[in-house]
Copies of this chain bind each other. A is one copy, B any other.
């Protein structure tokens, strides 16, 4: 086990392994404890109260297990239960939503300078549209309904259009990441979204989406958009590194270690999880959180 910090990473399933994947090389001095609450996924169809209760139970487990810092690698739990989790534990808690939104802001410096429209151009342009970065957020229905990304973008002076893409998670889980059906579904979702906004950045608001980030970017270009694609998983990993005083140098002789817990379906977790983590998961321990 590593001599560095212990970082707890929590998700309702294995999607949060894309966040762990981004963390491993960036904070390689750490030991990671990943918990996927697979017995109770998906959180997306559940109420705020239920999600908060589930997430707090998982947070308590990770804190009791020795986590010095907690990463909520789950957009739904971040959107609906981040405050509950922060109140429930005595360690710092980092969600996935603020890092993604902040990364969008930092990646779009030129747009942050307000553009003063020339006079005499007929109807006055919408000042919001001309002076603030436009962000298209792709997410699950539950995350969109929470409007957590919109609130975060608002607070940072950006205008968010949130679009629910319920088929993308099942397509990724079917393994159709490079499949023509996935491209067609992306074409439908994105072309409809692009009638609603002209985004400077597209924010991937679901931990499954990094696996189709390239397909999303390619479809944006095909549809004539030059929006940059921002991966919340990578953004969150950078915030964790910053919180722990910067990235730790990669040390091949002592790479980051991790252990995985799931509340159900250990076999599925290992099989699908390895794709999300980008490396084999040698062992998954079954955990009973009740419920």
A interface, CB within 8 angstroms of B: 38-42, 45-47, 50, 166-167, 169-171, 173-174, 181, 184-185, 188, 264-265, 268, 290-291
Q: How far, in Å, is A268 (CB) from chain B's closest CB?
A: 7
- Docked-complex contact A46 and B181, CB < 8 angstroms: no
User: How far, in whole Å, are A42 and B291 apart by their CA atoms in the complex?
Assistant: 14
> Which residue of chain B has the shortest Cβ distance to A141 in the bound complex?
B268
- Docked-complex contact A265 and B47, CB < 8 angstroms: yes
Known: A166-B174, A173-B166. A265 touches B184 (CB 8 A): no
Query: How many identical subunits does the complex contain?
Result: 2
Contact of A167 among B40, B47, B171, B264 (CB under 8 A): B171
Majority secondary structure, A binding face? helix
Q: How far, in Å, is A50 (CB) from chain B's closest CB?
A: 6
User: How far, in whole Å, are A42 and B41 apart by their CA atoms in the complex?
Assistant: 8
- Docked-complex contact B50 and A46, CB < 8 angstroms: no
Known: A167-B174, A181-B185. 6 other contacts (CB 8 A): A40-B291, A166-B170, A166-B173, A167-B171, A169-B170, A181-B184
- Docked-complex contact B174 and A46, CB < 8 angstroms: no
